[in-house]
A and B are shown apart, each in its own frame.
Chain A
Amino acid sequence: METFVFYVFSAFIVLSALMVITVNNPVKAAFFLVLTFFSSAAIWLLLEAEFLAIILVIVYVGAVMVLFLFVVMMLDINMAQIKKGFVNNLPLAVAVAIAMFVTIFFVVGGDSFSASIFTIPDPHAADYSNVAELGKVLYTDYFYAFEIAAVILLVGIIAAISLTLRRRPNTRHQNIEEQVAVNSKDRLRVMKIEAQERK
């Protein structure tokens, strides 16, 4: 049963990953990338890494890809224009691809992924909590790495904000503080007008 589920989702990953790079429309490509992430999360679930699997879905599927789609939908991409140089550059691309594959193959190699190294892990007991285990390891053994990663992310946030923060003094904009602080007396005056005789 598990093997069957594994092969189904692996097939999904490989096919959708292929579609990401072959499909014509960039928005469709992004949707196939979503499917790839989702299927990977399913594979992680098979490894009893339920916390990581769901975090993958929340972060990549739920946030990153939504923003990605957001950008892709607004871009006006002309695929014909982009594909114009495809045949001319094909030999170079193939050469680079082969070179990359060969180097990766010699560094990582096929032996590193054989079934004898990665045997099927023994299933844990029902009360095993992946979240608790991960938390213990993260906040003890890998504490410094965790903190450094956090600081790098913080730097990334600050850099992204400072890149997009442009002060344009001449534009007209609303002053939110004043808007929030306003009350009815500032905007509305109740007048008492004497009744007038009909003419």
Chain B
Amino acid sequence: MLDLILSIYEIPVINILVKIIVILVPLLLTVAYFTYAERKIIGYMQVRIGPNRVGPRGWLQPIADAMKLMFKEIIFPSGANKVLFTIAPTLAIATALAAWAVVPFGSQMVLADLNVALLYILAMTSIGVYGVILAGWSSNSKYAIMSTLRTAAQVVSYEIAMGFALVGVVMAARSLNIGEIVEGQSGSIWGWYMWPLLPLFVIYFISGVAETNRAPFDVAEGESEIVAGFHVEYSGILFAIFFLAEYANMILISIMAALLFMGGWLSPFEGVSFLGLGSSFLAASSIVWLLAKTAIFMFLFLWFRATFPRYRYDQIMRLGWKVFIPVTIVWIYVIGIMYYMQIAPWFVKG
């Protein structure tokens, strides 16, 4: 019996499908409980309790939400383009999930080990904006189209800053392969790229928040001005899919920040001589470290939302174009100088 299962697993298509399921099912579960965590955490930050009625301590709330959205009617607005109206959320979720194909979870745990993985993720997030554009345009609604214009401008602007921040990482690691970028940070906690690339690290994460249209950059769904933004006309499962894509993108940005700047699956106790920690089990690289680091960034997303008021639109544009892009360009030069001076432990020619 076991032999039979193993031999089926050897078939390439089956093998890849199994890997996809192994990545996607935990991802979608994380998305579901991320929404629950968001409501709970923001609730406690605002001295409320949050959802606590469905199941023990409200643990079944995300499942109840999903069921409700699945069984609700999908309403097509009059004058809407039905084909594009349904393609839009599909495009959003497809790109959000496709990006996970190249995300490594350990030194050998990756579905597609691309040489241009970093660019692939950038490409997928930039295609993701078409979901928003299509949704806004096909809805035949003024609020939706306003939101679409805002989002398109915002995402294109912050993509530049984000791209330049990634150029810094690529310069430091001399590779576009995410696995090699992580291995380049090994040695000790001081080998992580967040130290020499601190400004780029900050800019990457803030641009990531802007790219996913999350607070304080969520003018795409500014409730006070444009009701709910590009998905104002969406209901039922189509709306749920947009929701899913947004949260999958947030987790993607978090895991990328952990991989590129905080050493991914490398342990923070690596190379520590104090109390023999460096030789204990804590110093071993493991997926647990990666997930813990990712959780920190996921928490930051929620913390931002509970803390900061929404940016004004011109301030968002100014921050992207006049602050972030110049800082990243300057820092690329700084990295060049650091290379020239062979600053250890990051910029020593191996």
Q: Chain A: residues with CB nearer than 8 A to chain B?
A: 27, 31, 34, 38, 50-51, 54-55, 57-58, 61-63, 66-67, 69-70, 73-74, 129-131, 174, 176
Contact = CB atoms under 8 A, between A and B. Distances in A.
A31 B318 CA distance: 29
A130 B116 CA distance: 9
A57 B133 contact: no
Contact of A176 (B134, B159, B318): B318
B137 interface: yes
Contacts of B163: 58
Contacts of B145: 73
Contact of A50 (B115, B122, B153): B115
A112 to B, nearest CB: 30
A63 B122 CA distance: 11
27 contacts: A27-B137, A38-B127, A50-B114, A50-B115, A51-B116, A54-B119, A54-B123, A55-B119, A57-B126, A58-B122, A58-B126, A61-B126, A61-B127, A62-B129, A63-B126, A63-B159, A66-B133, A67-B156, A69-B137, A70-B152, A73-B145, A74-B149, A129-B115, A131-B115, A131-B176, A174-B314, A176-B318
Would you call the interface of chain A mostly helix, strand, loop, or mixed?
A: helix
Nearest to A174: B314
Contact of B152 (A38, A69, A174): A69
Contacts of A63: 126, 156, 159
B185 interface: no
A66 B123 contact: no
B148 interface: yes
Contact of A62 (B137, B149, B159): B159
Which 8 A-B pairs have CB atoms at the shortest separation, nearest pair first?
A: A62-B126, A57-B123, A54-B119, A58-B123, A54-B123, A129-B115, A50-B116, A66-B152
Interface in B104-156: 114-116, 119-120, 122-123, 126-127, 129-130, 133-134, 137, 145, 148-149, 152-153, 155-156
A131 B129 contact: no
A160 to B, nearest CB: 14
A61 B152 CA distance: 12
A70 to B, nearest CB: 5
B120 A54 contact: yes
A165 to B, nearest CB: 14
A147 B287 CA distance: 43
Contacts of B120: 54
Contacts of B114: 50
B195 to A, nearest CB: 26
Interface of B: 84, 114-116, 119-120, 122-123, 126-127, 129-130, 133-134, 137, 145, 148-149, 152-153, 155-156, 159, 163, 176, 314-315, 318
Contacts of B318: 176
Contact of A51 (B119, B126, B148, B314): B119
Nearest to B119: A54
Nearest to A72: B137
Contacts of B148: 73
A144 B314 CA distance: 39
Contacts of A129: 115
Contacts of A57: 123, 126-127
Contacts of B130: 34, 61, 66
A130 B137 contact: no
A62 B176 CA distance: 19
A31 B134 CA distance: 9
Contacts of B84: 31
B308 to A, nearest CB: 15
Nearest to A57: B123
Contacts of B315: 176
A34 B87 CA distance: 14
Contacts of A61: 123, 126-127, 130
Contact of A130 (B115, B152, B314): B115
A34 B120 CA distance: 17
Choose among A34, A62, A63, A70 the residue with the greatest number of B CB atoms under 10 Å from its CB.
A62
B313 to A, nearest CB: 12
A61 B115 CA distance: 21
B149 A73 contact: yes
A73 B81 CA distance: 14
A130 B148 CA distance: 36
A36 to B, nearest CB: 14
A51 B126 CA distance: 16
A101 B126 CA distance: 36
Contacts of A174: 314
B156 A69 contact: no
A66 B156 contact: yes
A70 B153 contact: yes
Contacts of A51: 116, 119
Nearest to B138: A27
A57 B122 CA distance: 9
A21 to B, nearest CB: 19
A72 B137 CA distance: 11
A35 B179 CA distance: 31
